[in-house]
């Protein structure tokens, strides 16, 4: 009999109805337990696959806000999750490709805890 091995699942995140998830790759995986997860690609670790700068992006078009979550430094086991909230720029904006003010974030948060990260995301996107 073959036993199927399950990998980490996506983190469950509850957001308000005015928010839209652009992409979601944030796993419910503690960085302290990441070494226990094996990958099937030789030379590629869970750090390369699941702890990078592009984990989650949530947009509120009505309020002109973007929530961005990543792991910094990218793929580094000593890093941390980073959450930033930025505002859309109004001047000269192309509605099809809005620009955001990354140099002046409204909010920043760092943690190594997935639970604390999700709680902070939900607090700002309720």
**pLDDT tens digits for range 32-50:** 999 888 888 888 889 988 9
- DSSP H or E segment with residue 126: none
DSSP string, 52-76: SS-SEEEEETTTTEEEEEEEESTT-
pLDDT tens, 33-92? 998 888 888 888 899 889 999 999 999 999 999 999 999 999 999 999 999 999 998 765
- Answer whether residue 15 is part of any domain: no
pLDDT over 50 at 2, yes or no: no
Which residues constitute the domain of residue 26?
Answer: 20-124
- Answer whether residue 116 is part of any domain: yes
Rounded distance between C-alpha atoms, residue 93 and residue 61, angstroms: 13
- Answer whether residue 8 is part of any domain: no
Residue 94's pLDDT band, with cuts at 50, 70 and 90, is: low
- Answer whether residue 74 is part of any domain: yes
Q: Which residues contact 24 (CB under 8 A, 6 or more apart)?
A: 10, 13, 55, 56
- Answer whether residue 63 is part of any domain: yes
Residue 17's pLDDT band, with cuts at 50, 70 and 90, is: very high
The domain total for the chain is 1
- Answer whether residue 80 is part of any domain: yes
Considering the entire predicted model, what is its pTM?
A: 0.87
């Amino acid at each position: 009999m073959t036993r199927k091995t399950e990998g980490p699942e996506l983190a469950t995140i509850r957001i308000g109805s005015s928010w839209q998830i652009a992409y979601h790759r944030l796993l419910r995986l503690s960085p302290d337990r990441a070494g226990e997860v094996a990958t099937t690609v030789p030379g590629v670790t869970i750090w390369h696959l699941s702890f990078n700068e592009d984990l989650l992006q949530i947009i509120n078009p009505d309020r002109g806000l973007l929530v961005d979550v990543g792991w910094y430094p990218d793929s580094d086991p000593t890093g941390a999750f980073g959450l930033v909230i930025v505002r859309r720029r109004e001047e000269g904006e192309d509605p099809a490709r809005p620009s955001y003010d990354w140099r002046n974030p409204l909010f920043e948060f760092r943690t190594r805890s997935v639970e604390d990260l999700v709680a902070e995301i939900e607090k700002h996107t309720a």
